[in-house]
Amino acid sequence: MSESPNIELWNRYYRALGDAFLFPNEFVIRAFLGKYPNHAMARDFAGKKVCDVSCGDGRNLTLLNRLGMDLYATEVTQEICDITKAKLASHADRIEVDIRRGLNRDLPFEDGFFDYLLSWNALYYMQGRDADIADHIDEFARILKPGGQLVACVPSPGCVSLQGARELGNNLIEIDNTSPAWSFLNSSIYYRFDSPAMIEERFGRRFEDFRFATLRDDCFGTALEYFVFVCRKRPA
């Protein structure tokens, strides 16, 4: 989550989570630890700096902590940062993380600071109808070291969260979902990625060595569809 116009709705959402169980997304685990024909990360994570951009309730930070990484994160409001930091501190692993308020287009870290970035269902939230996804891509590249890796997930066009969205042009859409489970996203503006080829074309100015997974899950009648990709920042 990042850059939603419904800021207070997001604050209320994270306040209401309480002590909900934290568990990393299965495909975050696969991206970092899986060994597949078209993808396998070197497992030299200990001591490396990672930022979970728009970390939500911090669930994926539980994995990154177990991998021995130095943890940083962002969220869209200071209240969410504080809620998630406290939740992680009270976790059984007593997780310490530097969580700062930041947006996809304006991340509060110095150039070339990170070895890894994780953006799980977040990088496509746009500030407004005139926003440019290139600004997000440039900002992600700015805070990564040359050769640093980005692990990301974005919804594909068939995903339930995009149903009913209004076309704004230039692949921008405004969410208008009639399902109560997704209505808190309404009025958010997304950048829609239509295919892995489109992701590689948009990110290719700053990133290389793309590896893709496509997820299609009919979860008890809910169509969850996503593109997952891993890539490296191009050398300076």
- What's the Cα-to-Cα distance from 196 to each of 21, 124, 186, 193, 199, rounded to whole Å? 32, 14, 25, 8, 5
Tokens 């339930």 label which residue?
A: 160
What is the count of structural domains for the chain? 1
pLDDT of residue 19: 66
161 within domain boundaries: yes
pLDDT of residue 1: 43
Domain that holds residue 52: 7-233
pLDDT of residue 181: 76
Residue 135 one-letter amino acid: D
1 within domain boundaries: no
CATH code for position 167: 3.40.50.150
Each residue's pLDDT, cut to its tens digit, for the chain (236 residues) gives 444 447 777 787 777 776 667 899 999 999 999 999 999 898 899 999 999 999 999 999 999 999 999 999 999 999 999 999 999 999 989 999 999 999 999 999 999 999 999 999 999 999 999 999 999 999 999 999 999 999 999 999 999 999 999 999 999 999 998 788 777 788 999 999 999 999 999 999 999 999 999 999 999 999 999 999 999 999 97
2 within domain boundaries: no
pTM listed for this prediction: 0.93
107 within domain boundaries: yes
CB 67 within 8 A of CB 52: no
87 within domain boundaries: yes
97 within domain boundaries: yes
